[in-house]
Amino acid sequence: MVGLQPISAPPPSGQRALARCDLLGSAPYSDDADGLFRPYLGAGYRATLDRIAGWMDDAGMSVRVDAVGNVVGRYEGTTADAPSLLIGSHVDSVRDGGRYDGMLGVILGIEVVASFARAGRRFPFALEVIGFGDEEGSRFPAAMLTSRTVAGVRDGFDLSMADRDGITLAEALAEFGLDLAAIDEARIAPGRVLAYVEAHIEQGPVLEAEGRAVGVVSAIAAQHRYRVTMQGMAGHAGTIAMHLRRDALAAAAEAIGTVERVGRNGPADLVATVGRLEVQPGAANVVPGDVMFTIDVRAGTNAVRDAAAREIIDGIRQIAARRDIILDVTLQQDLDATPCDARLTGLMEQAVADVTGTPARVLVSGAGHDAMVMAHLAPVSMLFIRCEKGISHNPAEAVTAADVEVALRALTDFVCLFERRS
């Protein structure tokens, strides 16, 4: 095990956590020179893991990269090989993303451990920090691949799935130096994790509107994500009469209107989004013959999500039939609504109240998180951090050092409360 962090090292702080996220926001930690894009198993991802591993080592942790490319640091408890309290989030980024989505939760976990290492304090349990490799699904057509493996939830983990360049997941793992035969070794056995805690920017405007630095998550919304293809008939834009066309893009446009209508007319917790659209052949003088688009449906409960998804898909099928379009709808992600553990939520509320002097704001997360998957392995808790204007997945994403400091103090207090009440 690596020794304790030297006392002469700069102390853990919200400012240092923020600075580290900023450092990781550009090359060589990004695959894009002009912005942040850190896809799973890419060059920027490798450089990022190396840097995070160094910070984990400095914080007094032993460090490893597991069989699917997650970086894991472990700070032993008073008893060797004790179960752990696991703190984490993801290190991958969407294209042209922000610097704090996911990464801030990982760096805060390191800062929490560093603070205890500086004080020479250990617990009856180990503290572990994990940086998950693929929460966003920004490279392969599925999300949360690596947390699924850790939690033993392998549905949707298809080694033959390919990225936009035709590189399969199996090829990417092998190129990264990971052993395909050892993938299951990344799974954590039940009972080895006492609880999973994730800090994350809110990705919404509630905390800013209410003047709060942090909030406590009570549940994470249910999600369905679909890949829809519409196949019509390409043809010359000047010679095919309008009533004879099988225009895939016109059909898709009508379908996208259906998605928006259902989302707008549903309950307040329902949202429906088309986030990606590809048109072929993509020429100005050709009637589009093939279109692919994605649909993301989310709600606070499975029932609301499922009802909306059925209405959307039924509507799209009617559009395709009327326009003589060949339709394929594939469900790519199915995440149930995930309530956070009531006991842990209470501890996090207490930690926030201890630090801020006011009762904690409790809210539901509309965004998905690795915590949804980790709930299959252990009780989970989440802490939200205010972000400017609620902006996320955008270079304009911003947090303040003062708010991050509050989050760090709340997480540190949470660990102490967890020890006293376990």
Is 225 marked as a binding-site residue?
Answer: yes
- pLDDT for 346-375, tens place per residue? 999 999 999 999 999 999 898 889 999 999
- Cis ω before 28 (30° cut-off from 0): yes
Amino acid making up residue 96 = D
d(CA 150, CA 186): 5
Fold observed for domain 14-220+337-421: Aminopeptidase (3.40.630)
Does residue 153 have a pLDDT over 80? Answer: yes
Q: In Å, what is the CA distance from 130 to each residue of 63, 73, 75, 111, 147?
A: 10, 7, 12, 13, 10
DSSP 8-state secondary structure symbol assigned to residue 258: H
Please tell me whether 70 is known to bind a ligand.
Answer: no
Burial label, 391 (beta-carbon count in 10 A; 0-12, 13-18, 19+)? middle
Residue carrying structure tokens 């995070």: 52
Task: Please report the pLDDT score of residue 300 as a whole number.
Answer: 84
For 19, phi and psi rounded to 5 degrees?
Answer: -65, -40
Give the Å distances, CA to CA, from 332 to 143, 224, 266: 9, 8, 23
Over residues 338-349, the mean pLDDT reads: 96
393 is in an annotated binding site: yes
**51 alpha carbon, distance to own chain's centre:** 20
pLDDT tens digits, one per residue of 194-210: 999 999 999 999 999 99
Largest CA distance in the chain: 79
Ramachandran angles phi, psi of 291, nearest 5°: -135, 140
* 376 in a known ligand binding site: no
Average pLDDT over every residue of 57-78:
97
Share the mean pLDDT of the chain.
94
User: Of the ranges 3-12, 72-81, 374-383, which one carries the lowest mean pLDDT score?
Assistant: 3-12
Handedness of CA 314, 319, 324, 330 (dihedral sign): negative
Percent of the chain with pLDDT over 90: 89
Q: Which residues make Cβ contacts (< 8 Å) with residue 44, sequence separation at least 6?
A: 27, 28, 29, 30, 31, 37, 38
Average pLDDT value for residue range 100-112: 98
Three-state DSSP class for 211?
coil
pLDDT of residue 10: 74
Determine the pLDDT at residue 143: 84
- Asked if the model's pLDDT at residue 265 lies above 70, the reply is yes
Report the pLDDT value the prediction gives residue 421, as an integer from 0 to 100. Answer: 86
Alpha-carbon separation of residue 286 from 233, 247, 252 (angstroms): 10, 10, 16
Q: Is 343 annotated as a binding residue?
A: no
- For residue 226, CA distances in Å to 272, 366, 380, 389, 392 come to 11, 17, 27, 28, 22
Question: Is 82 exposed, middle or buried (CB count within 10 Å of its CB: 0-12, 13-18, 19+)?
Answer: middle
Give the number of other Cβ atoms within 10 Å of residue 209's Cβ: 11
Residue bearing the bigger pLDDT, 155 or 303 = 303
Which residues, including other chains, have CB under 8 Å from residue 323's CB and lie 6 or more apart? Answer: 232, 246, 247, 250, 251, 254
- Would you say domain 222-335 falls under CATH 3.30.70.360? yes
Q: Is 334 a residue whose pLDDT tops 80?
A: yes
CA distance 304 to 224: 11
Return the pLDDT at 308: 98
Work out the pLDDT band at 157, boundaries 50, 70, 90.
Answer: confident
The residue assigned the tokens 């597991």 is 66
Would the pLDDT of 4 be above 80?
A: no
What's the whole-number mean pLDDT along residues 235-263? 97
Calculate mean pLDDT across residues 312-320.
98
pLDDT digits (tens, 9 = 90+) for 398-420: 999 999 999 999 999 999 999 99
Helix H or strand E segment including 277: strand 277-280
- Reply yes or no on whether the pLDDT at 6 is more than 80: no
Question: Is 421 marked as binding a ligand?
Answer: no
Q: Which two tokens stand for residue 220?
A: 């994470």
CA end-to-end span of the chain: 25
Please list, in sequence order, all residues whose beta carbon lies within 8 angstroms of the beta carbon of residue 11, skipping any fewer than 6 positions away. 115, 118
Q: How far apart are CA 114 and CA 187, in angstroms?
A: 26
Going by pLDDT thresholds of 50, 70 and 90, the confidence category of residue 156 is low
User: Could you state, in order of their start, the residue ranges of all structural domains in the chain?
Assistant: 14-220+337-421, 222-335
Name which of 63-67, 258-262, 300-304, 320-324 the model is least confident about: 300-304
- Ligand-binding annotation for 175, yes or no, is no
Q: Which residues pair with 29 in a beta bridge?
A: none
Residue 303 has pLDDT above 90, yes or no: yes
Query: Has 200 been labeled as part of a binding site?
Result: yes
> Does 227 score more than 80 pLDDT?
yes
pLDDT at 8: 46
pLDDT band (50, 70, 90) for residue 272: very high
